[in-house]
Amino acid sequence: MIGFAEAPMAWGLTRGMARVLGVNLPQAVVEGWLSRAELGRLVDRCQSCGQKGACTAWLATAATAPCLPVFCPNKPELEVLALRH
């Protein structure tokens, strides 16, 4: 299982935001259409974001969505991934 033990909350939120768009991040890395370094940058960006409460609240109500909320710093990259796969 691909994960980030040093940033478990950021990993969970990043994975959750991707999942809402229909993207499975561990699978993307295994299949090679997302590098481990790219995934690390997404998690790092989430880790430094000050909107964890808003993110958690949004994820609690969104099973699927066509796009992410504007406060998500990974919005552009995750939405592009969703379009690609």
Tell whether 56 is covered by a domain: yes
Tell whether 67 is covered by a domain: yes
Query: 1 pLDDT exceeds 50?
Result: no
How do residues 31-70 score in pLDDT, each as one tens digit? 999 999 999 999 999 999 999 999 999 999 999 999 999 9
- Mean pLDDT, all residues of the chain: 92
What was the pLDDT predicted at 85? 75
Tell whether 54 is covered by a domain: yes
CA distances from 10 to 31, 49, 69, 84, 85 (A): 22, 9, 16, 23, 23
What was the pLDDT predicted at 6? 67
Tell whether 2 is covered by a domain: no
How do residues 3-37 score in pLDDT, each as one tens digit? 566 678 999 999 999 999 999 999 999 999 999 99
Cα(42)–Cα(45) distance, integer angstroms: 5
Cα(1)–Cα(74) distance, integer angstroms: 22
Q: Which domain holds residue 74?
A: 8-84
Q: Count CB atoms within 10 A of the CB of residue 8.
A: 11
Tell whether 3 is covered by a domain: no
